[in-house]
Structure 1
Amino acid sequence: MSESIGAVLGVASAVAPFIDPTGISILIFSIVTLMLSLAEHPHQPDSHRQTAFRIHLGLDSCPGQNLGGDIPDVRVWDERGNFLGRFLGDDEDVPAGDFFDFTIDLEKPHQPTYALFSANENDVCIAYITQTLATGERYSWTGQWARTCSKPWYYSGVVFDGYDDLACTWISLHHIDDKSVSGIQLHIHEFKYTESNNKSIDYFCAGNPTMKFYTESDPTEIDRWETRRPEDLNSTRGIVHVPGQPQDDRRRSVRPSDRSCPRSLHASRLIKSRRGQSASMLCADPASRGPDFVSYSEGLYCNMETREVLPLCDGAAGRVTGCFDDGGNIVKRSEVERGDVLDELGYDRVDEWL
């Protein structure tokens, strides 16, 4: 691959809202192809009755506690909607910015083409998911899709090929607001680039069985594409609902947490980045969620709760009010604007992405 993933992802993010989706469908699949070549995959399973996943987390929602996050529950089905197996991840805490590999034992030696990832107790932001089949086939999905489809996202802090703008997808067991996502369904092999695959962004973001973002708490059911006979390949595909498994009926409604983890994604945390991420773009996107953000490349500060963007204070340039003081982590207001001079933001944790 001679193209930079940064160039491809950057162009895709910039032009997606403005260009006819069919005009950039190949661009989107180029993104996925590059991800496949760059992202790490779990080892190939030893048994034909297993499939392997890797889930790489960006952020978690427990700032200051260094708890990482619960790996999502994962359920898999074959192409006809036969349930094949599940992995319950609520006992698997992974540090923010790290990944977790696991295998799922399959009830039948069928290809697991549908997967459902359901959030557990604390909210996590997924940078990417990769899958390795027993046959050695590899598939990949990136959290950049949440940003593309206007679902909750944030910068992941995960770097590929020097590109540091990669987004992650927030999933939450708890209903934080009307845009919260509790789970993601993937028909993951559709994200692999082929010359004949010319699907558009609208197709992927439509909420069909290829990629569906769930809002109800603890989803355990999926939709699948109707299987078609060869003579029906040119017809529109129907959608078939696949009910959950009996063992999932006894799953939790919402488990009480054994952590004092704040529910707000805007909790008292600040991220400062010397990379290329944009604070102004983060603040301007209504779908973004997460900590306040400083972009040194832009010289800007983003307050994610108020969506206010301020320049960094610079005494040499005479900018001492109406700005964010990077040394004290406070906003300096002018007395004309506000009755006070300083906004004490009270960050419990400040992380620097170098």
Structure 2
Amino acid sequence: MGDILQAIGFVGTALGIFGFFKTNLPSNAPNGAVVRIKVGNQDYDGQNYGGGIARVIGYDQQNRIVGNAYEKKISNGDFQDITLDQDTDGIQSKYIGIIATGDAICISWITLKNRDGASDSAWIGDVGKSCGQDWAWGNQEAGYVEDTGERISPSCTWLDADHTNDIISGAMKINFSSYADNLDDAISSGRACSATSFSDNAGEIDGAPGKKRDVSLRPRRPESMTKRIIISTVNPAHNATELCNHPTSHSSDVVGSDGYYCNMETRELHPLCSSLKVDGCVSIDIESGKVQKRTSLGKRTANVHYRSYEKVSERVAIRNPSLQVQDFGAEMHTADHEIFYSSRDQPSNVKRELQACCTAGFVDA
């Protein structure tokens, strides 16, 4: 327990409690509370998860402002420790307000450390996902489930002040004390959602966090997202069916570990023909970025063009990061192909994952 604290995030398919790495907490500052904001990692410079924070606000137990920080920029996959400018350095912040700029940002987690040593706590992007906010796969490891050792990479929650990409919220306010202890009760009572307020306005949220905001809007995607497909078959949490069916997910089209492809524009799911040869299944050519769909034409079947992508981002797991892409035949030529490595599986598993998902050139489906 010494190296972790408990936090609320998705464990399996529902909110639960996991061990959050204390290394994700900021250090004490000589003046004021410190807020660490961690951004998700999309691995694609043309449409990344980094963005701007216009203002961070600390509030005391009576919801009075005790400190501020202004104009922060956080890069894709990075974090920033933000020290609040306080008149009295040791006053605890109970509530933290985050106001975004017009440069959209996807936040994987936020942690708070008060100067006087009050209880540390963490807000996880999975809370936003569970509570009606726009979200995407965060791809940053935060901790693990203590009973099973399963690693947790939470979703990230989107904020955007000008709603350029129809992201619904521009600001949020968190009651950090609700995420510090009694977490089982927070989940069962609904406090995991009610302890965070969201606003579509790019300004301060006056009241303390209260009832969960009802959100029914489905965001449209920027053009850069429509030109890219994400293939992630090695992370069990990257479930294309869940992402596709969730009302507030916001992502490029994906192939997930469940063996399905999702068209995020239409929210249509298609099985991969490599695993399920049925009418409507799809085959993906990783060289050209083209997708074909199996279609019945009278008594015969045909593979017809369905979609094309300029960018193919593929997540594979290997033990030896020096292994080159061409060693297992996944180098891109026409489409721009990006391969991202983790360190959990043998290279043979990588080849098997690639063959199970997609092909270098179409094969008979």
TM-score above 0.5: yes
Amino acid at match of 1:171: L
1:121 deviates by 2.2
Residue range with higher mean Cα deviation, 52-61 or 143-152:
52-61
Number of aligned residue pairs: give it: 293
- Does 2:280 match 1:324? no
1:108 deviates by 2.9
Choose from 294, 309, 320 the match for 2:269: 309
C-alpha distance in structure 1 between counterparts of 2:78 and 2:208, whole Å: 31
Amino acid at match of 2:117: G
The alpha-carbon distance between structure 1 residues 284 and 265, as it changes in their structure 2 partners (threshold 3 A), is farther
1:331 deviates by 2.0
C-alpha distance in structure 2 between counterparts of 1:306 and 1:343, whole Å: 13
C-alpha distance in structure 2 between counterparts of 1:168 and 1:268, whole Å: 21
Residue range with higher mean Cα deviation, 276-285 or 97-106:
97-106
Kept in 1, the 8 Å contact 2:50–2:106? The answer is: no
- SS in structure 1 of the partner of residue 96 of structure 2: strand
- Does 2:260 match 1:300? yes
Amino acid at match of 2:107: I
Matches within 5 A, 1:97-136: 97-109=77-89, 110-136=91-117
Percent identity of equivalent pairs: 23
Kept in 1, the 8 Å contact 2:52–2:71? The answer is: yes
The alpha-carbon distance between structure 1 residues 123 and 342, as it changes in their structure 2 partners (threshold 3 A), is same
Amino acid at match of 2:84: I
C-alpha distance in structure 1 between counterparts of 2:206 and 2:312, whole Å: 38
- Matched residue, 1:222: 206
C-alpha distance in structure 2 between counterparts of 1:198 and 1:192, whole Å: 10
1:196 deviates by 9.9
Amino acid at match of 1:212: S
C-alpha distance in structure 1 between counterparts of 2:165 and 2:48, whole Å: 24
Matches within 5 A, 1:251-270: 263=222, 266-270=225-229
1:64 deviates by 2.1
Amino acid at match of 1:346: Y
Choose from 277, 288, 310 the match for 1:347: 310
- Matched residue, 1:282: 243
- Matched residue, 2:55: 73
- Matched residue, 1:96: 76
The alpha-carbon distance between structure 1 residues 52 and 195, as it changes in their structure 2 partners (threshold 3 A), is closer
- Matched residue, 1:229: none
Q: Deviations over 1:1-59 (max 9, x none)?
A: 599x9998324x34x6xxxxxxxxxxx4x34xx22x45511111123xx1111111014
- SS in structure 2 of the partner of residue 271 of structure 1: strand
What is the Cα-based RMSD across aligned positions, in Å? 3.8
Amino acid at match of 1:133: N
Kept in 1, the 8 Å contact 2:282–2:294? The answer is: no
Q: TM-score, normalised by structure 2?
A: 0.68
Amino acid at match of 2:88: K
Amino acid at match of 1:307: R
Q: Which runs of 5+ in 2 are unaligned?
A: 145-149, 212-220, 316-339, 342-365
Structure with the largest fraction of strand: 2
Matches within 5 A, 1:36-75: 37-38=21-22, 40-47=24-31, 50-59=32-41, 63-64=45-46, 68-71=50-53, 73-75=55-57
- Matched residue, 1:247: none
Matches within 5 A, 1:82-231: 82-90=64-72, 92=73, 94-109=74-89, 110-137=91-118, 138-159=120-141, 160-161=143-144, 162-175=150-163, 180-194=168-182, 200-206=188-194, 210-216=195-201, 218-224=202-208
- Matched residue, 2:324: none
C-alpha distance in structure 1 between counterparts of 2:282 and 2:267, whole Å: 14
Amino acid at match of 2:309: G
Amino acid at match of 2:305: L
1:325 deviates by 0.7
The alpha-carbon distance between structure 1 residues 215 and 39, as it changes in their structure 2 partners (threshold 3 A), is farther
Amino acid at match of 1:96: N
1:349 deviates by 5.4
- SS in structure 2 of the partner of residue 342 of structure 1: strand
The alpha-carbon distance between structure 1 residues 179 and 7, as it changes in their structure 2 partners (threshold 3 A), is closer
Amino acid at match of 1:143: G
- SS in structure 2 of the partner of residue 333 of structure 1: strand
- SS in structure 2 of the partner of residue 64 of structure 1: helix
The alpha-carbon distance between structure 1 residues 44 and 151, as it changes in their structure 2 partners (threshold 3 A), is same
- SS in structure 1 of the partner of residue 30 of structure 2: coil
Kept in 2, the 8 Å contact 1:310–1:324? The answer is: no
Q: TM-score, normalised by structure 1?
A: 0.70
Q: Which runs of 5+ in 1 are unaligned?
A: 17-27, 226-237, 240-261
C-alpha distance in structure 2 between counterparts of 1:122 and 1:200, whole Å: 35
Kept in 2, the 8 Å contact 1:59–1:124? The answer is: no
Q: Deviations over 1:44-87 (max 9, x none)?
A: 1123xx11111110146985266832245211121223222222
Residue range with higher mean Cα deviation, 52-61 or 133-142:
52-61
Kept in 2, the 8 Å contact 1:164–1:275? The answer is: no
C-alpha distance in structure 2 between counterparts of 1:114 and 1:7, whole Å: 17
1:275 deviates by 1.2
